Structure 1
């Protein structure tokens, strides 16, 4: 029996040079202007998607890897997605937008006020994709970068402080009664005084209470500490896992256990699995692509190494392809999840060539070995996820109108006919849509 699932789009490149390296660059959109993104989000809203999540990395990385990050625009340049959000809200009425934010980059009081402003201006459609990247630390002060778990501790303190500020106005403090000539009761405001390990600030916040809940919190962490953060704080977990039944159920169980441990209900966290499909016109075309990927050439392996180097802030192209990959080459600031995704299920003595070759290989949607297939085959897989209790999926790709339409033009009608994709939105913004089923 088909069931409704939530759908989002993960803008993996961030607010960067969309179209670069693809033929559709010649559509002549300017990636630094809002029209490109506004055209794409209108299509996402027409399709019935709940939200757009925009990746970001404030830093161009270490001196050793800057050239790798910008050479093919894998990791930069990027503009600030928080400042893109108002243009996307102006182009839509229902779609949620979740820019990536880093606790190191925003003081809690400023963050609370800016995020609250966007929540009001958007009609309660703001989400915040909270990341704990520590590679950007040198841009925000002289303190040394935090370790993996300590960065999550800081994010926990940061978000808790922001929520305290948002809640410094009880509901009965805002009166707004012209007949009484009284706008607010200042005696009801709560004097927040935060003195923590990482932040110190006072309240109350200079804003007015939300009408339909606080901004939605998204988190992408896959480590034990990251899952614990999600269980305690998040409304959406951006999940990366093999899309077989045992892996899906095991991942969801970890998130649900973390939510219960934090005193929340499992259904308070929507788990959305990220999928990067390659949609083709026929099963025969899919088989051809998969077969061709089995033996990647040196240029393909180098391109994969450059892309991975950007994400991992480590120059893989300088390593011996035929020597075992020593994960000690990655600094403490590198995401544990990113390292695990690179290495996969390979043995500790696997060579870098073997690891990169595995990343080059494609698989078929029809047999569960990968994500190459037709729109109908992708719909089959998403429908199957629903039978395992899945909350929804995030389609992963550039936010270019060509990419969006190529992915959705055939897929959306199939999903709608099967009762998997919403045809109407709830009233009340992003949180209301997440709670509507």
Structure 2
């Protein structure tokens, strides 16, 4: 029997211009106001989703890519998703809200206190998507940016610091005894000193302990260091991998081993595979869309190059389409996952840019597993397969706009529920409890 799966939505544009460049802009939602996000969040909750992850990049990138990132609003502007979270909690009752946070941007004590505040206010529904973007470091201080693995080392120290601060109120520290008038027992507060490589601060935290689980830690990143981070720290791992049986099982096993190596249960980390389906009303419509994408024109390739330039913080739009890219252009700060999305199975050093971009432009069918265009039933088939191969669920992504959600979910939600894949009710408690419910 197919088991329930966890579902999340990844707001890929972050707290930015939702619907830009799409007909949905005609609905006149103001992306700088909370209403569009509140409406979409209510509908995700109605659909039974566990969590909403809000992407963020605090930086507009390197000087050479600033215009690329803002020209089509691929990489900016963005407002702070942490400050959007209270509006989404107010609009919903069960949905987990997961802003993206860079450890370089918030010192541990400040972060722990702000997250504790939101976790209490939401009834335990806060999560934190921990990213290690090194390109933003110059905005937060004078220290030189860390390399890929060094940024993960800092993030691991940061998460450990948050958890020690959240636990600095020992059992029995909160008394709240009205008969004696005593609110707390200071002897049970851990006034520790943290002096390590990346951070220096003192405890205890000036916030009361949580009645339930702590905020959930979410992480992306499929590099060996990224998976070690997830194994040690994460409640949810966002997985980018080919969605065939061998790849899914291998990825899940790497996460399990990473958890075991850090003394955790093998299944402590929920692995959600990122998918962006194009749901069609018929197989014939899906076939038409796939055929139309097979031979992209240069205008389409340049548009994709602009999108990739934003992710890679490297300008691809000025490159000769018929020559390989100069690999020296990609600095150490460039995301390994972004590079893999660009190259696919090709050799970056020898493959013309046109071939790489053409592969990105081409769509494939859900029915034969060459891509993600297909009917709701075909997508449900994929979710069932992922469940059988060890996946814990899927992460759909796109703008956080009601039109985008309805286009994807209107036909899909009833079919997923009929097949027993999508929850119809939430577990008592907050985000962590719902993630552990199955």
**Normalised-by-shorter TM-score class:** over 0.9
The match for 1:165 is 165
- Which runs of structure 2 are paired with 1:60-209 in the superposition (5 Å)? 60-209=60-209
Residue 390 in 1 paired to residue 391 in 2?
yes
CA distance in 1, matches of 2:319, 2:225: 30
Question: Unaligned 5+ residue runs, structure 1?
Answer: none
Aligned-residue offset at 1:148:
0.4
2:286 aligned with 1:321: no
Superposed displacement of residue 43, structure 1: 0.4
Measured against aligned partners, the alpha-carbon deviations of 1:402-427 in whole angstroms (never above 9, x if no partner) come to 01111111100001111100001011
Higher mean displacement: 325-334 or 231-240: 325-334
Structure 1 match to 2:422: 421
Q: How many residues align?
A: 437
Give the superposition deviation at 1:344. Answer: 1.1
Q: Determine the C-alpha separation between the residues in 2 that align with 1:74 and 1:144.
A: 26
Contact persistence 1:165–1:192 (CA under 8 A): no
Any idea what SS the aligned residue of 2:206 has? coil
**RMSD of aligned residue pairs (Cα, Å):** 0.7
Alpha-carbon separation, structure 1, partners of 2:377 and 2:299: 32
Cα deviation, residue 82, structure 1: 0.2
* Corresponding residue of 2:405: 404
In the alignment, which residue of structure 1 is the partner of 2:379?
Answer: 378
2:252 alignment partner, SS class: helix
Q: Which residue of 2 aligns with 1:297?
A: 297
Distance in 1 between residues matched to 2:351 and 2:295, nearest whole Å: 17
State the 1:187 CA deviation.
0.8
Report what 1:245 is aligned to: 245
Task: Give yes or no for contact 2:306–2:316 (8 Å, CA) kept in 1.
Answer: yes
Q: CA deviation at 1:57?
A: 0.1
1:267 is paired with a residue of what secondary structure? coil
Q: State the Cα distance separating 1:192 from its structure 2 match.
A: 1.7
Cα offsets for 1:108-162 (capped at 9, x unmatched): 1100100000000000000000000010111101111110000001111111111
For 1:63 and 1:140, the matched residues in 2 are separated by 17
Q: Does 1:213 pair with 2:199? A: no
Q: Give the Cα separation in 2 of the matches to 1:61 and 1:137.
A: 10
Cα shift readout 1:381-408 (whole Å, capped 9, x = no counterpart): 1112112122000011111000111111
Alignment of 1:332-343 (within 5 A): 332-343=332-343
Q: 326-335 vs 32-41, which deviates more?
A: 326-335
Moved more, 239-248 or 317-326: 317-326
Match of 2:436 in 1: 435
Provide the C-alpha distance between the structure 2 equivalents of 1:28 and 1:72, rounded to a whole number of angstroms: 18
Normalised to the residue count of structure 2, the TM-score between the two structures is 0.99
Say if 1:82 and 1:100, in contact at 8 Å, map to a contact too: yes
State the secondary structure of the residue aligned to 1:104: coil
**TM-superposed deviation, 1:356:** 0.4
CA distance in 2 between counterparts of 1:352 and 1:66 reads 22
| CA deviation after TM superposition for structure 1 residue 2, in Å | 1.6
Residue 274 of structure 1 is matched in structure 2 by 274
Query: What is the rounded CA distance, in whole Å, between the counterparts of 2:220 and 2:388 in structure 1?
Result: 24
What is the CA–CA distance in structure 2 between the aligned matches of 1:232 and 1:384, rounded to whole Å?
27
Give the CA deviation at 1:326. 2.8
Q: Is the 8 A contact 2:171 2:188 kept in 1?
A: no
CA contact (8 A) 2:280 2:376 kept: yes
